[in-house]
Amino acid sequence: MKLSVLDQSPIRSGGTPSDTLLETVELAKACEQYGYHRYWMAEHHATPALAGPAPEIMVAHVAAATSSMRIGTGGVMLSHYSPLKVAETFNLLETLYPGRIDLGIGRAPGSDQLTALALAYGSEIGIEYFPTRIADMMAFMGTKEPTTEIFKRIKIVPKPDVPPQLWLLGSSDQSALMAAKFGLAFSFAQFITPVGGAAVLDAYRQGFEPSEFYAKPEASIGTFMICAETEEEARRLGSSRDYALVRRARGQHGPFPSVAEAEAQDYTEADLQYIAANSNRSFYGDPDQCYDWLMKLSEVYGIDEVVVLTICHDAGARRRSYELLAERVLR
């Protein structure tokens, strides 16, 4: 099995965005040593708990700090941006770091609606044009002509001989079918939609149409996991995640809470029910339990690559989680 990383650049309670971005670089360097296949950085805007509004900048920074692991985005929210600008940016990154760059794109806004409007400043092109954006972006990165007629006169510089890997990320059958139609790789966010994903991936595979980027379907899933020496310790670390989800459900926003903050909470019965209802969105366990869980996911979803999202308040515990997981799965 291939193990990969999704880093949402969490801002810890008591920490700063600067701390967070430095931790991202250090974690990427460590994960390369542990044997992880790729390292993706997410895009979120106006989110107090996450410091990643421009993952393409972090791709350049992390790629420069590493040497062999694939580096990319999970993902660029293409609905906000010019397909040409995205293509130029990732063509440039691939030229700088050949054979190592992934462009993962998503349909979600990665923000609230007001922030999404600000990102689209002046544009009258809505989400209904998302497929056209994909088609034009693929043309700017590949060899075919753009769907938009006037764009056919545009010369793309630089244009590497081999383009970055193109992935569509999603948590629904709509995203899967779009990835299939365009002949892109597809990564399913199991940590967002923990039920029904196997059928979504089956639909992707059955509907896949080969493209110049992929001759056959390629898929992975993203899952949230905390691995520690014992299940008890993993669950203790995971209490921060549980509390963060409860706060978000209450409409409360802020940095990622500490274990002490989580343990100090006087949860209502409704809070406890909410945590229980969302328990299948996260997995906390020791290395053997995490290994068994990954093997189960591999079988159920029919995949051989899992993109692991781990958030702990303590940066050392987060790094150790990835280390323990790699030791059990990859060695």
Kindly report whether the peptide bond that precedes residue 158 is cis, defined as omega within 30 degrees of 0.
Answer: yes
Give CA–CA dist 65/75, Å, rounded.
20
Decide if pLDDT at 247 tops 90: yes
Instruction: Give the pLDDT confidence score for residue 72 in this predicted structure.
Output: 98
Give CA–CA dist 290/284, Å, rounded.
7
112: its two tokens: 């609230």
**Residue 35's CB: how many other CB atoms inside 10 A?**
15
pLDDT digits (tens, 9 = 90+) for 168-216: 999 999 999 999 999 999 999 999 999 999 999 999 999 999 999 999 9
Give CA–CA dist 273/256, Å, rounded.
21
Kindly state whether residue 246 falls inside one of the protein's structural domains: no
Kindly state whether residue 110 falls inside one of the protein's structural domains: yes
Instruction: Give the pLDDT confidence score for residue 129 in this predicted structure.
Output: 79
Kindly state whether residue 143 falls inside one of the protein's structural domains: yes
Instruction: Give the pLDDT confidence score for residue 32 in this predicted structure.
Output: 98
Least confident of 105-114, 143-152, 244-253: 105-114
Nearby residues of 120 by Cβ (< 8 Å), 6 or more positions away:
80
Q: Are 78 and 133 in contact (CB under 8 A)?
A: yes
pLDDT digits (tens, 9 = 90+) for 269-311: 999 999 999 899 999 999 999 999 999 999 999 999 999 999 9
Instruction: Give the pLDDT confidence score for residue 110 in this predicted structure.
Output: 59
Q: Which helix (H) or strand (E) holds 207?
A: helix 197-207
Give CA–CA dist 101/95, Å, rounded.
9
Nearby residues of 223 by Cβ (< 8 Å), 6 or more positions away:
190, 191, 283, 294, 297, 306, 307, 308, 309
Kindly state whether residue 270 falls inside one of the protein's structural domains: no
| pLDDT averaged over every residue in the chain | 94
Instruction: Give the pLDDT confidence score for residue 119 in this predicted structure.
Output: 79
Tokens 């922030």 belong to: 115
Instruction: Give the pLDDT confidence score for residue 124 in this predicted structure.
Output: 61
pLDDT digits (tens, 9 = 90+) for 69-117: 999 999 999 988 999 999 999 999 999 999 999 999 998 765 677 887 7
Q: Looking at per-residue confidence, does 181 or 127 come out higher?
A: 181
- The single-letter DSSP state of residue 274 is H
Instruction: Give the pLDDT confidence score for residue 127 in this predicted structure.
Output: 66
CA-to-CA dists, residue 251 to 81, 245, 254, 272, 313, angstroms: 28, 10, 10, 17, 20
CATH number of the domain encompassing residue 64: 3.20.20.30
pLDDT digits (tens, 9 = 90+) for 224-234: 999 999 999 99
Tell me what percent of the residues of the chain surpass a pLDDT of 70: 97
Decide if pLDDT at 258 tops 70: yes
Query: How many domains does the structure of the chain reveal?
Result: 1
The range of the structural domain enclosing residue 164 comes to 2-227+282-329
Report the chain's terminal Cα–Cα distance, integer Å. Answer: 11
Give CA–CA dist 13/72, Å, rounded.
27
Nearest Cα neighbor of 91 from 42, 34, 158 is: 158
Is the whole-model pTM more than 0.75?
Answer: yes
Kindly state whether residue 183 falls inside one of the protein's structural domains: yes
Kindly state whether residue 244 falls inside one of the protein's structural domains: no
